[in-house]
A and B are shown apart, each in its own frame.
Chain A
Amino acid sequence: MRYLVLAGVSAVSMIMTACISPHLSIVNAQMDVMLAAMLCMVLREKTLTPVFYTAGMAVLMDAFFSRAFGFYTLQYLGTGLVIYLVMRTRRIDTAAVMASGAGFWLLREILGVWLCFLSDRPVGMSSRFVYSVLPGCIPQVLLCLIVHWLMGKLYAHRFVWPIGLYSDHN
């Protein structure tokens, strides 16, 4: 049941990121629902499992949108790995969600720019950051807060947790 929930959340967030966000930009930035969902799930359960599910959905995005296979998968896998390493021992509160929402949004963008250079298609870093990435931090943080609240409702149920971890965190 847990894996179904993880797969469902990852699939819905991928559809929103890949199919809806490109048409609904806020301050020139497309909101990353996949990143918000992955971040909030890892913050809650302190495992890498949500990262694998998100990366799995990113493979679909690579197949459909990317010429360099792994472009999207590596962004989410790399960011998810850093989220896990940095946040697994930290207490989660509103300030932590806001700071990590903005911080890992920036990290994913930096990873993406680096991957563009690696795949021989450099992008204009300065204008992208000034006009899109930095202004996009605010709506992304708001999105993370909303997703964090929703995840709170979801993770109130025992079946979502890995075996043995429900009582540790509740």
Chain B
Amino acid sequence: MNFWKNRPLVITVILVIVLLSLVISTANTEDSVGPVSILGRLLKPVQSFFYELTEDIGMFFDGRESTTQLKEQNELLKEQVALYEEQLSNYYELSAENERLRELLNYMQDSEYEIVTAEVIGTMPGEWFDEFTISEGSNAGIRTNMIVYSADGLVGKVVYTAGGHARVLSIMDDTSGIAVMVERTRDNAVLHATEDTPDTLQMRYLREDADIVPGDKIITSGLGGIYPKGIVVGVVSEVSTNTASERVVYVKSTVDFEHLEEVAVVLHVFEEVQ
């Protein structure tokens, strides 16, 4: 086959080369530019719709609502007028969302900084990184390195913004390291996600003779910038010894990342604690 006579093939190879250079040049881009932001805006409502839909499906198979309850609710809804059925369905959704947001705002009420709440509208396909997309972006004042958390604790930090959405790097991503301390003893350490234990974090650089037991609460220390002091990150789940006789401390995050729906973004980039 004459390569140069096959026009689609030539175009494909050229596109591959162009895209390779784009990938390298835009690696770790923190902000989107015009056309990219517009394209993202096109997909946002579709993503948001299907994210909510599959969350509901997932909760059903998790057994959160029993079959019996669903049947009873279905019978009740069948007896009502179509208009009341729609209003009742909307009311439950708004009521639940209101309760979650109320919890979130109560958690944040002592903050001296302005916050913006956002919904989680998508997770990264392919599970390449622990990043998810939220429904607010630079138009709401969100910038990169702003911290994100829920009523349960620290969620992560903003790593990319577009006009109407932003991406958050979860603390469960194995490129994400957090400076923490044990709340009870004030010992400093660094928390990392690991490949071997995807649902828990591992504590490193803790003093060898540090007093730590399962159940100890782990909070951010404020060292290293980005995360201010005092935010709950997790709870020690296991203290064990590895094959090299080194102590290994595992921490379970207080946030349920599988069912995260609303988050709060602090509209301030924190500097390192002096």
Chain A interface (Cβ < 8 Å from any Cβ of B): 15, 17-25, 30, 32, 47-49, 51-52, 55, 59-65, 67-74, 77-78, 80-81, 84, 112, 115-116, 118-121, 123-124, 127-128, 132
Contact = CB atoms under 8 A, between A and B. Distances in A.
Nearest to B61: A24
Contacts of A52: 8, 12
A81 to B, nearest CB: 5
A61 B42 CA distance: 10
A118 B24 contact: yes
B127 A132 contact: yes
B239 interface: no
A29 to B, nearest CB: 8
A23 B126 contact: no
Given A19-B54, A23-B55, A74 B46 contact: no
Interface stretch (B13-21, B64-72, B109-117, B260-268): B13-21
Given A22-B123, A119-B24, A124 B174 contact: yes
A162 to B, nearest CB: 11
Interface in B178-197: 195-196
9 contacts: A23-B54, A24-B58, A32-B126, A65-B124, A67-B29, A67-B160, A71-B23, A81-B16, A128-B195
B27 A22 contact: no
B177 to A, nearest CB: 14
A67 B160 CA distance: 7
A139 to B, nearest CB: 14
B127 to A, nearest CB: 6
B22 A70 contact: yes
Interface residues of B, number: 53
Contact of B133 (A25, A48, A65, A128): A65
Nearest to A81: B12
Nearest to B20: A74
B88 interface: no
A77 B12 contact: yes
Given A64-B43, A118-B24, A124-B174, A17 B125 contact: yes
Contacts of A116: 128
A8 to B, nearest CB: 14
B39 A19 contact: no
Nearest to A108: B126
Contacts of A112: 126, 128
Listed from nearest, the 8 A-B pairs whose CB atoms lie closest are A63-B39, A19-B50, A119-B27, A23-B54, A70-B19, A48-B8, A124-B195, A127-B195
Contacts of B124: 22, 65
Contact of B23 (A20, A47, A68): A68
A20 B30 CA distance: 26
Contact of A51 (B12, B32, B44): B12
Nearest to A63: B39
A19 B46 contact: yes
A67 B127 contact: no
A65 B125 contact: yes
A70 B25 CA distance: 10
Contacts of A22: 122-125, 127
Contacts of A51: 12
B50 A60 contact: no
Given A48-B8, A63-B36, A64-B47, A69 B22 contact: yes
A20 B50 contact: yes
